[in-house]
């Protein structure tokens, strides 16, 4: 998204139209209904279009602000970062892609792990950062999820993961595919310990992330109209040579077909999680 235009036509008092410069980032265009929205209005509305309810993609900081009690959290395992064991190169060297993502996001990996509180209730929270190589899951993401789950078991905490991802990180080939089994096994141990896992799927959650931990929640929650699937609609359409139903792979369609338990708008996510935690956990 971003700016729709740096110049905007305004009416002058004598009825003439005049182009004026608009400062960067003052307006956003809704990709769904094409409405032009004042940035501050959008921010006040948790980055949800006031006209059509489209949920814009948000960053890690906004996600934390939305979910956790102010000042209640600490991040851990911040220093783990990817290496390039396969010496992989496509149009660009993988190692350069990693350093580019580190510079862009100011974080060392695509997965952020925190311990924090929701209405005073302690949780372990993981967030996939779509801004970091499309939130793709390589060895580091798998390792950080596993460590977070092990930490949660040790501290008797419920686990919440917010996903937004293009899937497994192809530059790590089989090593990234192995993370699907590794994260699933870790969550299996969490389940044996009778600790809940709530998965939150945001736009877009696809590929190996959907095919592993993101769909393993005791409760799977999606944001409205998020694209959630394994292969993209175009690939499926070309493979089965049939037209796909309307709204295919969107949250609402998936809920209707039993893949998603709840669709929760952003404004209600914290109070919903708070209630679910009360049902699922015993807090003294």
* Residues of this chain that bind Zn ion (CB under 5 A): 30, 32-33, 35, 49, 51-52, 54
Q: Contact at 8 Å (CB) between 180 and 208?
A: yes
Nearer to Zn ion, 46 or 237 (CB): 46
Phi-psi region of 167 (alpha: psi -120 to 50; beta: other; left: phi over 0): left
Least Å from the CB of residue 51 to Zn ion: 5
Task: Name residues whose C-beta falls within 8 Å of residue 147's C-beta, 6 or more positions apart in sequence.
Answer: 77, 113
Nearer to Zn ion, 26 or 36 (CB): 36
Nearer to Zn ion, 33 or 185 (CB): 33
Tell me the sheet residues that pair with 221: 200, 262
Nearer to Zn ion, 53 or 150 (CB): 53
Report how far residue 44's alpha carbon sits from residue 28's, in angstroms, rounded to the nearest whole number: 13
Least Å from the CB of residue 78 to Zn ion: 35
Phi-psi region of 207 (alpha: psi -120 to 50; beta: other; left: phi over 0): left
Least Å from the CB of residue 37 to Zn ion: 7
Least Å from the CB of residue 8 to Zn ion: 19
Q: Contact at 8 Å (CB) between 33 and 51?
A: yes
Nearer to Zn ion, 169 or 225 (CB): 225
Least Å from the CB of residue 224 to Zn ion: 12
Q: How far is CA 3 from CA 25, 36, 56, 61, 105, in A?
A: 6, 10, 14, 21, 20
């Amino acid at each position: 998204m971003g700016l729709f235009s740096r110049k905007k036509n305004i009416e002058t008092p004598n009825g003439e139209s005049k182009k004026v410069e608009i400062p960067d980032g003052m307006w956003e265009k809704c990709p769904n209904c094409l409405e032009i929205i004042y940035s501050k209005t959008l921010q006040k509305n948790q980055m949800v279009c006031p006209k059509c309810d489209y949920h814009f993609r948000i960053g890690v900081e906004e996600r934390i602000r939305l979910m956790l009690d102010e000042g209640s959290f600490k991040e851990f395992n911040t220093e783990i970062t990817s290496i390039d064991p396969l010496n992989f190169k496509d149009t660009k060297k993988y190692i350069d892609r990693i350093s580019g993502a580190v510079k862009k996001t100011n974080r060392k990996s695509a997965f952020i792990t925190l311990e924090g509180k929701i209405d005073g209730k302690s949780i372990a929270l993981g967030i996939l950062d779509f801004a970091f190589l499309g939130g793709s899951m390589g060895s580091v993401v798998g390792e950080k999820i596993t460590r977070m789950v092990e930490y949660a078991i040790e501290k008797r905490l419920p686990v919440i993961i917010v996903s937004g991802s293009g899937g497994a990180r192809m530059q790590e080939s089989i090593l990234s595919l192995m993370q699907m089994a590794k994260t699933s096994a870790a969550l299996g141990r969490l389940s044996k310990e009778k600790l809940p896992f709530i998965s939150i799927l945001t736009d877009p959650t696809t590929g190996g992330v959907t095919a592993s931990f993101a769909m393993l929640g005791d409760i799977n929650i999606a944001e409205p109209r998020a694209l959630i699937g394994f292969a993209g609609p175009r690939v499926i359409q070309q493979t089965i040579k049939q037209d796909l139903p309307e709204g295919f792979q969107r949250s609402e369609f998936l809920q209707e077909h039993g893949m998603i338990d709840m669709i929760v708008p952003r404004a209600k996510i914290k109070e919903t999680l708070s209630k679910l935690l009360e049902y699922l956990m015993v807090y003294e």
